[in-house]
Structure 1
């Protein structure tokens, strides 16, 4: 059962488009949305999601390797899944692991569907970005590995979201397939499918394969939907987004408000140079009176630089999600912000 407040989906979709996440293509005769293409902020959100998926499924796991493959199979047919590439690496990875199971293989990239993928009344035309993890396991380990995988992946989705409205759903019929489903006021959406197949007798050790498949494009739409909220203020509707800090397209907004614009800009440039050493993306040139612009794209932190900064070297660091602020010296901004982002 969804716990989120009800909002008009078409208004939210238009907001996502206006906020630079995707462009909407409409049917000329019905005026209904047909499909969407990423804009700059949507591309950044997609990139950050894939990066967090990589960390959770490869970087911190034992015996899991990341592999890649060409988009076009044999130079002609575009791939419909990444599983062919993972199977081709099996023998080599098994050898590297001294012939012992389990081993894991992960891959992500563009695949092509025979039909469009639909989520929240929006289609992605044919192509989608797949994130695939496959564990090659002996029969005796299936139940244990599958159970831990379901728990870990469900916890990860809840960590990466705001509403926590993700639930596991086992497929009926006695097999070991399951799904992780996002529930909202606009219905249920499958964000991840976990399947078990085997034994694969054509492979050495006849392993079973536990596969986790995610469409990163569906994930982006779900995260936008999950992070969206609106508040009625008099006759206006305030719309904003909130992401997990590591998913946010931009981590920091820079607000300059003062009379000595030239010197304040020098301070801002110093802070930007320091933060870019940590690859922290910044939205700049934000007027302090226009902080709503940061909320519209889900920026978690902001720095306000004022004339007093030139006297004491301090700026205000705002947590945009919690509506709190603290004074920090400009020489400590990088250390403080990196600490907050890593602890998220």
Structure 2
């Protein structure tokens, strides 16, 4: 029997971490984070990063691997995750992939082929062309080399137009062709989702945001800015961080900051659920406030055994 990769997903504040920890103990596993923000050092409270104590109990991978001013892509995630999976299997353990970043998860579950990383020189040249001739010039240029991508990208979305042209410039392969490529992992994969009523998820998000701010999110952001990290970095545009920066700049008061973080996180959770509901491969586990993480982990283990992923 081939050992599986267990994937655990769910919207923000759905209790993934607690369930993954209980499951890891039950099935002798290590955890791989599929969270685009937890890769960054110093971003702790706003990313709900597991504590060092927890990570010493159960080994975690792909956490604190980048500084806030370093680039990180889905392609790099895939390469690092595959290496972590192979290391875990060599230890005779199981990998549990956990997170809420759908694209990262899909690089493993669907084998999306990693697109080449950004090239600042090419981007700068394309940006200069856009300034000189307008974004319509680049859009027409994209239409000549990749009609399929052009149909999906709005003419005003300069960022995506430049990315599509950048990919073609680097590889001579159209952006749409890269999106159609697949890489198949030689391991069985079983995916579970934590299924909450939407109003309960929203309540949990509200409590999490209150706790994050109480524990010192604003202070964490202050320290990042004091270290010299620019507010324009992708890492500091994440949920909670952008709003905290604008609060520190005096754009609104603390209550407005809390409201905006909660609102934007609810919107993000809604998008996550809308995306995952389309995937018929996911085994949804019904959740409520009375259900303990150990109980959910036991349910997941039983399904794995019933479907012969585990003995």
Which structure carries more helix by proportion?
2
Do both share a fold (TM > 0.5)? no
Which structure carries more strand by proportion?
1
Q: Which has the higher contact order (CA 8 A, sep 6+)?
A: 2
**TM-score when normalising by structure 1:** 0.20
Q: Which has the larger radius of gyration?
A: 1
**TM-score when normalising by structure 2:** 0.22
